[in-house]
Every structure is written in structure tokens, then in C-alpha cells.
Amino acid sequence: MPTKRLALRIGIAGFGTVGQGVWKHLHDHRKPLEERVGARLELHSVAMRDTTKARDVTVPAEKIGTDPIAVATDPEVDIFCELMGGTGIAREATLAALRAGKMVVTANKALICDHGAELFAAAKERGARLYFEASVAGGIPIIKAIREGLVANRFGLIYGILNGTCNYILTRMEAEGKDFEPILEDARRLGYVEADESLDLDGWDAAHKAVILAYLATGHWFDLKEIPVRGIREITLRDMEWARQLGYRVKLLGVIKRDFKREEVFCSVEPSLIPADRILAKVDGGYNGVCVEGDIVGESIYIGRGAGRDATASAVISDIVDAAIDRLHNVPAFMPTYPSARIAFAELSAVKRAFYLRLDVKDQPGVLAEVSAITARHKVSIGSVLQMPAANNGHAHLVLTTHRTSEQQIRDVVAALRKDRSVLGKPLVLPIADFSAK
């Protein structure tokens, strides 16, 4: 570890929305932060891809460069902040900083999800530290809560709203009675949607975060390909209204559920029905909410802004302060350790939940009986039925809820329904949130 000194120098790679927020708030709040740390915090350098681009935050010209690797390996830099995003040059720069023994802070959930095992191994080998609070749920300190505040617990269930963009769109659709596309256009205009829209709308952003939470809960890195991931594009106003009639609200929900007896974990990201009286169902707009079920503490709920410059900058600066204190006091690299038992991804036949099933069907006698026969053949029990006429003559909407059944059984039912001549188009299946850790 480098010799202690009275000033700690911070290098930033990436100067987009989050990078500018970190620089601004570190500059504006430097004095109270320095008092807490017990040393000067110097904004030493920043690497940005385009130095000619107009920005809200002014940086002295002598501190600006274009090479993130140079910042990561600069011997004058004590704390390296990777705020570029992506998994290419961001991975290279992060590894370079860790191999140089530096304190590294990142807000990059894709990087941690895809390369977490490699990054933590590099940190352990070189006595470096990797801080990643801002990678999940923006300004909510959920990683610190799980790793530190709730360290005495084993976690049977973690679930939450992990993507503010989807939550914003669903909230406005429901409140204003507007379809998906016009609300999406507003979200684009306001800058709420990633440049690659599939990250938000198809659930991949939330899935990256769910993988990280699953690691924190189990110590195992799951492959993103193992996880059922769906976004919100198929959700209609009718679904939201029918869910309301049934006592639910629709949210994009990430779920990590662990079976301690079988040593299996199920993880998913899907639009889900949440009972309207649950606290998480009332988390609206750009906010995130995460519920953690510990075997000692019971349920803890964390709600806050999940994205944006200030919320993410708050989490990054929290990590910078932790990194500064650890460096000053020569705190050895801490890596969480977990029991060595092999943890597997749960078989679909072992995962049981209730489901919402929406069908567009021919409006003719006997259709409900056909559908009931298919569900009965696969041993899926129907809990409730709603039937409404459709805008097209000769069509009807059929909405079913099931009792708890397995993921495999509901998939088999859907496959059979798609072959039935009375069912028009693709059925929509949404899980009904199960808050039991058993």
C-alpha cells in the first residue's frame, strides 16, 4: 500500500451525466467531506472521450485527458472512479487500476455483473479494493445494507423495483390512462431512457442488478443467460386495469429466492402483479424499492431514487469516502466470503408461484371450457376468471389467475394454449408476486 499522505487524489474516467455529478458535488461539498475523512480530497484528473463537448461542469484544462488507462495507472491517483459504462475499455481500466493496487469505485452494473468474479480476484491478488454501491438502485445504499448492516442474516428472499425508467413508464400509463408508446416518447425526451433502449425496456438493466444482489446474498455469480428476463413492452392499459380489479398493481420486479434445504436459487426479472396494499406497490415514478428478507431481522424495505445524476453521484461519493478512510488507515482489502456449498440455479419444476394469464380468444361458446381443460391437463388450478368483450367483433379477452403452480407447468400450459384454435395471438403470462421465503 502507498505511504499515507495528507491528500488523497481522485481520478475519474467518464464524464457523462454521473461523472459530472460526482465532480460537482465533490467540489461543492469538499470541506465537510474532508472533515469526515480527515484528509484533503483532491480532484486530480478526468478522462473524457470528447473534450470538445459542452458540459454543465467546468474542469481546469490541465486536469483533462482522453485516456482512461492513463488515469487508472497514474501513480499520483489514489482512488480511481470508473464511470464510463460498458464492459470494454471500462473493464480494461478497472483491471489496470486494481492491478496497480488502487482503490476503485464503479457505478457500472454491467461490468460487475459480467466480470465481477474476475475483478474481485484481481483486487484480492493485489490488495486493492473495489467499491460498487452505485451499481444497484442508485441512491439507495442497498449493497452496504446487505454486506454490512445485515451481515448476521441469511437471505431467503430479495425482491424489488430495480429500474426507474420502467417504473416511470408504468406509473404514468396507469395514472394518465395512456398507452406505452406516448409515455415512452416522453421518457426519451426527458433523457430517462438508455441510448440502448433494450437495457431498460427489455429488463436487462434490472437483470444486471439482480445478478449482483444474488451474488451478495449467496456468494455465487449466476450467468445472465440462466435468468428469465422480460421487459414491459407487452404490458397494456387493459392489463393494468384488470390487475387493479383483481387487487394488484403491475411493476417490473427483480426476484432472488433461495431454498436453503435444496441449496438452490431462483432469480428472475419480469413484470409482476403486486398486491396493491404492499408498500412496494406504492413505489412510483423514477423511484426504486428493494425488500430484503433476512432470517434474523425479517423484512427490511429500502426506497429512494434509482437513477439520475444526483442519486448515483451520492452513492459514488459514499464509496469514495469509504475508500479514502480505508486508504488512510491502511485497512486491508476486505472480500466477503461465503459457505463453500455448491449453489445451483433452481429447476423450473421446483419454482412455484401464482400467475396472471391474459388470452385473446374467439367469442364463442365452449372456449372457457377448452381453456379449463388445458389447464386441468397440466394440473394447473384456476383461481379466478374475468371475461370481457374485445374491440374486434367475434373476439373476447379472457383473464385468469392461477393458484400456486410451477414455472414448468405454466410454460407447458402456455405452449398448449398457443396451439389451440380458439386462442388468438400470444398469451401473456405474468407472475403474481410471492412474498414467502419458503
Is 209 annotated as catalytic? yes
Given a contact cutoff of 8 angstroms between Cβ atoms, the answer to whether 409 and 249 are in contact is no
Q: Are the CB atoms for 10 and 44 separated by under 8 Å?
A: yes
- Residue that the C-alpha cell 453521484 belongs to: 313
**What CATH class does 145-306 carry?**
alpha beta
Summarised one tens digit per residue, pLDDT across range 416-434 is 999 999 999 899 999 999 8
The pTM score is 0.93
Rounded CA separation 164/276 (Å): 19
- Output the nine-digit C-alpha cell for 202: 427489455
State pLDDT tens for residues 193-212: 888 999 999 999 999 999 99
CATH topology of domain 7-138+309-328: Rossmann fold (3.40.50)
Task: Please provide residue 191's backbone torsions phi and psi, each rounded to the nearest 5 degrees.
Answer: 75, 25
Of the chain, the percentage scoring pLDDT greater than 70 comes to 96
| pLDDT reading at 70 higher than 80 | yes
- Average pLDDT of the chain, as a whole number: 93
Q: Does the structure show a pLDDT above 60 at 141?
A: yes
Which tens digit of pLDDT belongs to each residue from 91-119?
A: 999 999 999 999 999 999 999 999 999 99
Radius of gyration of the chain (CA): 24
Position 193 scores a pLDDT of 87
pLDDT (mean) for 293-311: 93
Catalytic residue among 209, 261, 282, 438: 209
The backbone torsions φ and ψ at residue 187, rounded to the nearest 5 degrees and listed phi first, read -60, -40
pLDDT band at 3 (very low <50, low <70, confident <90, very high): very low
Position 437 scores a pLDDT of 55
**How do strand 352-362 and strand 395-402 relate by DSSP bridges?**
antiparallel
In this structure, whether the domain defined by 349-432 belongs to CATH 1.10.3720.10 is answered with no
pLDDT band at 392 (very low <50, low <70, confident <90, very high): confident
- Tell me the C-alpha distance between 108 and 93, whole Å: 12
Q: What is the pLDDT of residue 1?
A: 43
Tell me the domain boundaries of the chain: 7-138+309-328, 145-306, 349-432
Helical ranges in 204-339 per DSSP H: 204-218, 237-245, 309-328
Query: Smallest Cα–Cα separation from 307: which of 316, 294, 298?
Result: 316
